[in-house]
Amino acid sequence: MSAQQRYVSLYTDLLQTVRELGLMRRRQGYYYTRFSLVVAALLAVATGMILLGDSWFQLLLAGALALILVQVAFLSHDSAHRQIFTSAAMNDWTARILAGALAGMSVTWWRNKHSRHHAAPNQVDKDPDVQLKAVAFTPAAVAGRGRLGRWIAARQGWLFFPLLTLEGVGLHASSLRHLLRRDTTKLERIEAAVVISRIGGYLAFLYLMLPVGKASAFLGLQLAVFGVCLGAAFAPNHKGMPLVPAGMKLDFLRRQVLMSRNIRGGTLTDFAMGGLNYQIEHHLFPSMPRPTLRHVRPIVREYCAAHGVAYTEVGLFESYRIVIDYLNNVGLKSRDPFDCPLSAQLRSPGRNLA
């Protein structure tokens, strides 16, 4: 067997084992329960807002609404990955309804971006998540900035989580930019109508029910909490892991495992992170239902150990420390992201793991 065939078979053998154990089966009962709880929670918040009326206690409901919408986003993520239904169309429309009608975001925009990330996580020329303008992931990205940009980059680790308060606004803005461009498809025009109606209806409800000051405070707090909670769930998964140089080819198993990080924790961590704490397993099996990820984790970990593939798993707060340290070091140019044993191995002359 050639080296290329051997590397490919590593993943196919693992996938076959997982399928034979029935771990790819749909878990629709789990998701129907989640849908019901989310809808009930949204109705409870809306009822509470109407009953409270002109009160600063509305800000408590703003925080609650943000947390519920984070769960909506997780469900939309799962549906977009076709984890819920056997029908692709059913999954796609569920993702559109959840993202557009409930969260006010474009699942089409998100899926285009997220699919490229899954295809090449942490690859500097392919992964859109390491090509952000607000955050520099390589010293080269810092070098192209002016004095103020370099000053910010040197502190970007500390600024990263405060900046997440703007993530909610950024997601809505990116969705609208995508849906309002000239070359939209018919489905995107339908999605645009849904997203705009949801955002417009939400703003009208707020500002008709509450005085301008309280409505603005409600909106600002809801968007800030939503951005921080959603960003905090996605941030630990790849940031601070090795970056793949442009043009490098890797086999699927190593590409997904070596660039991803799992977060330890129990039921509360699973809930707060929407299953994204099992990032390695999610990247290996994107269509695997969320509740199954924790069951496949020990299988994947043992398999990686048997084949000498590094499997990274840390605690939640340790992961945040790594992210902050990594981003600050990149900004200070004190460490090239490729200067680690793994990256050196991957960049070695003539090395091709495809």
At 182-200, the pLDDT tens digits run 999 999 999 999 999 999 9
Give 150's pLDDT tier (boundaries 50, 70, 90).
confident
Give 100's pLDDT tier (boundaries 50, 70, 90).
very high
Domain membership of residue 332 (yes or no) is: yes
Domain membership of residue 272 (yes or no) is: yes
Domain that holds residue 57: 3-347
What is the rounded average pLDDT for all residues in the chain?
90
Domain count, the chain: 1
Distance CA 352, CA 249 (A): 6
- Give the tens place of pLDDT for each residue, 31-55: 999 999 999 999 999 999 999 999 9
Domain membership of residue 220 (yes or no) is: yes
Give 337's pLDDT tier (boundaries 50, 70, 90).
very low
Residues 6+ apart with CB under 8 A from 15: 284, 285
Using the predicted structure, report yes or no on whether residue 148 has a pLDDT greater than 70: yes
- Give the tens place of pLDDT for each residue, 301-318: 999 999 999 999 999 999
Residue 262's SS3 state is strand
Domain membership of residue 7 (yes or no) is: yes
Domain membership of residue 354 (yes or no) is: no
Give percent of the chain with pLDDT exceeding 90. 77
- Give the tens place of pLDDT for each residue, 5-18: 455 678 999 999 99
Q: What is the DSSP string of 314-349?
A: E-HHHHHHHHHHHHHHHHHTS--TT-SHHHHHHHST
pTM: 0.90
Distance CA 232, CA 103 (A): 18
- Across the range 140-168, mean pLDDT stands at 87
* DSSP H stretches of helix in 210-292: 212-234, 252-258, 267-273, 279-284
In this prediction, residue 340 carries a pLDDT of: 41
In this prediction, residue 6 carries a pLDDT of: 56
- Across the range 18-24, mean pLDDT stands at 96
Domain membership of residue 132 (yes or no) is: yes
Q: Nearest to residue 313, comparing CAs of 274, 266, 265?
A: 265
Using the predicted structure, report yes or no on whether residue 225 has a pLDDT greater than 80: yes
Domain membership of residue 352 (yes or no) is: no
Phi, psi at 244, each rounded to 5°? -95, 125
Distance CA 134, CA 196 (A): 26
Domain membership of residue 353 (yes or no) is: no
Residues 6+ apart with CB under 8 A from 287: 24, 81, 82, 83
